[in-house]
Every structure is written in structure tokens, then in C-alpha cells.
Amino acid sequence: MLNSSFLDNRLDKIQAKIAAGQRLDFKDGLILYESHDLPGIGRIADFVRRQQHDNDTFFVYNQHINYTNLCINGCKFCAYSRDEKAGDSFTLNINDVNLKVLERMDEPVREFHIVGGLNPALPFNYYIDLIKSIKELRPDATIKAFTAVEIDFIAQTSGLALDETLARLIKAGLSMMPGGGAEIMSSRVREKLFPKKISAQRWLEVMAAAHKAGITSNATMLYGHIETNKERVNHLILLRELQDQTGGFSAFIPLAFHPQNTQLSHLHNTTACDDLKNIAIARLMLDNFDHIKAYWIMIGEKLAQVALSFGADDLDGTIIEEKITHMAGATSAKGMSREEMKRIISAAGFTPVERDSFYNPVTELDEN
């Protein structure tokens, strides 16, 4: 049990609430963000993390596929997207996607993480064929595809209702949705940085519809640009409220803003303290989320290892080929082997648990 006092004595009350199983409120969230007692915040988050997962740290053998970088939204924080005039825009056809899958057939890929820009030239059947063709090649792998932003766009361009869009994608083999596109749920920031993107309310509506249709999803928050601490806490509370209603969120992933090659390149990279705080505070505020991911691609392998003692219980995955963060200047590797993943988890004092998309443990013997 936690019993020593904190450098920042405001944490005493927060610790007492956690120990009593009480939910933290907006004010508590703000105190946590404003506090410089990082070890204190980490200690409380680690207490909660161990209550939920003991020593286990999860990872998945996954492969990222980005099907297009053409995008009509032009978010200012994005280094990945291109307009149709750009010389280096791309859209994979189904054959290109199949080749990417076939290249890795000798590896135990259990999850495909598939996201892309908003390309108006793609018909509804493109998305169906994309899912079906991967499912045909790898029937046992989970298709985690299309952010809420993409789902809304697919519905709009195909003229189908949201529920019908989801139903058809699910019938084709969609089993889960990634958590991207939430950014910061603030109309102030949206107007300044991503005015064309769907509103926070629509993002939540799409997620609620997906959960109602029977699939789970993740949730994210993009931090480290122009958002305030109040906006961060508000974002976490909005996610928590939807989770109270649907229970459909699986993991929360704080995303550290990378400014290079974006229209916000004058901003600084996030600091290690802010990265760890965002993980720890998510663990404490999101009391109804099972999993908090330290996305090693964004915060680096070394800090992700430390984050395991600050509330994170999942390192995401092996990934193989990451584009979105690397185009914005990430210096982490583009993929990690299963052995390396296990090594860094064990070296941090945790037990590596390879999982499937739904957090069922898998063993290497399950591979065939």
C-alpha cells in the first residue's frame, strides 16, 4: 500500500481518493498536470497499474499498412498527408496491399493496423476489398482498421448511413478500430490546427456506433502542441464518459506531438517529463480503461521502458513499418523484433505477455 508522503502535498488527497476507489475529478486532473512531483504521480499510477495487471506487460505482433497518404483534411500537425499535386503522394491498390502481406507470411502477424488519409477517389468497395483480401491471406489475424475520421469519411463518400457503413465493413472482416483522429477534443484547438477534421462530438458518435455494432476500439490524445492542461483533462473526461456508456474502448494511447516537417515545425518536441505524466495521468483519470499504451514509436524505446513504471501496461507492437510519426521526425526504429520487445520488458522488471488484439495471451506454440 502507498503510505509515504509526497513532495507535492496536493498528491496526498489524490492518493487517498485512489486508495478509497474514488473517481478523480476535473480539479484532480488539473493538479496532476500542474504538479512537478513526477515520481509521486508515477508512484500512484504504478499502484493502480499493478492492481489491474500485476507485473504483466503486453505487446502484439502486428504490421502497419498505410493505404494512402492523399488527404483532403490538411491538419497542420500532420507530416504524413499529401494533396494530389504532390509528387510523392501514393495510394496502394489491392495488389500492392497483398504484396505487403505476402512479404511477411513467414512471421506470426496477429494484427493488421490499417489507416490512411481521406482520398475522395476511393470507392466504398476499395475498403471492403482491402479488408477481404487481407482476411483471405491471413484468416487468423485481426483487422484493426480505419479511425473514426476515416469511417465518417467512408460513410459520407459512399452515401451510406454510419451504422450501415460499419455493418458492411464488419461483415467484410473488420474487428477493431484504432484510436487515432481524436487529437484534442477542443473546438478552440480544432479551429486553429485541424478545422476540416470531424468534430469531437462526431468522433465520439462514430466510436459509440462502432461499440454498439459490437466492435471494440482504442482512443488517443495528441498532446504537446498548443493545447492547455484544462483541454487535456477535459479530453480524458469525455473519453471516460463515453466508456461509462459503452465499455467499448480497449486501450488509451497518449500521442506525443512530433513537429518536424509539419506546419508547426516551430514548436518543440515533447519532454520526457510530459510524456511520462501523460501516461500516468491517463492511468489515474481513465479508471474505466483496462489498458494504457506506451507507444514506443513516439516516445522511443528507452522512455517507453520507463513508462511501464508510470502506469503503462502495453508497449503496442512490433509494427514492422511505421510512417506517420517517422515522417514527422521520430528517431525510434521503424519496427522491433519479438525478442527485443521481450528483452526491454524483462529488463524493466516486468513479465512480457504476447497478446492478440483482444488481450488474450498467446504463446509461440499457437503459431501454426
- Which stretches of the chain bind ligand V47, using CB under 6 A? 77-79, 147, 178-181, 183, 218, 220, 222, 253, 255, 257-258, 262, 295, 316, 324-325, 328
Sign of the CA dihedral running 130, 131, 136, 137: positive
253 binds, among ligand V47, ligand SF4, none (CB under 5 to 8 A by kind): ligand V47
CB of 186 to ligand SF4, least distance (A): 16
Q: What angle do CA 212, 216, 220 make, to 5 degrees?
A: 115
Task: Convert residues 116-145 into a mask of x (bound to ligand SF4 by CB under 6 A) and - (unbound).
Answer: -xx---------------------------
Nearer to ligand V47, 42 or 180 (CB): 180
Nearer to ligand V47, 222 or 285 (CB): 222
Please report the DSSP string for 286-304 in residue order.
-TT-SEEB--HHHH-HHHH
Query: Using the rule CB under 6 A, is 81 a contact of ligand SF4?
Result: yes
The strand pairing partners of 291, in sequence order, are 251
Amino acid at 16: A
Residue owning grid cell 477542443 = 186
Residue from 10, 30, 74, 301 binding ligand SF4 (CB under 6 A): 74
Residue 350 near residue 365, CB atoms below 8 Å: no
Which does residue 178 bind out of ligand V47, ligand SF4, none, counting CB within 5 to 8 angstroms by kind? Answer: ligand V47
Asked if 203 and 182 count as a contact pair (C-beta separation under 8 A), the reply is yes
Tally of helices (H runs) and strands (E runs) in the chain: 14, 10
Q: Which of 18, 41, 131, 149 binds ligand SF4 (CB under 6 A)?
A: 149
Q: Which does 286 bind (CB under 5 to 8 A by kind): ligand V47, ligand SF4, none?
A: none
Q: Of these partners, ligand V47, ligand SF4, none, which one is at the site of residue 117 (CB under 5 to 8 Å by kind)? A: ligand SF4
Q: Which is nearer to ligand SF4, 52 or 91 (CB)?
A: 91
Write out the DSSP string of 56-88: EEEEE-EEEEE-B-B-SS--TT-SS-B-TT-TT
71 interface partner picked from ligand V47, ligand SF4, none, CB below 5 to 8 A per type = ligand SF4
Q: How far is the CB of 178 from ligand SF4 (least distance, A)?
A: 12
Which of ligand SF4, ligand V47, none interacts with 66 (beta carbon under 5 to 8 A by kind)? none
Instruction: Map residues 191-210 to x or -, x wherever contact with ligand SF4 holds by CB under 6 A.
Output: ------x-------------
Q: Nearest-CA neighbor of 207 among 227, 177, 234, 229? A: 177
Q: Smallest gap, in angstroms, from Cβ of residue 157 to ligand SF4?
A: 14
- Taking CB under 6 A as the criterion, the residue among 32, 45, 78, 294 binding ligand SF4 is 78
DSSP 3-state helix, strand, coil percentages of the chain (rounded to 5)? Answer: 45, 15, 40
* Min dist. Cβ of residue 353 to ligand V47 (A): 16
174-177 β-sheet, strand order: 62-66, 111-115, 142-145, 174-177, 216-223, 249-256, 291-292
**Strand, coil or helix: 3:** coil
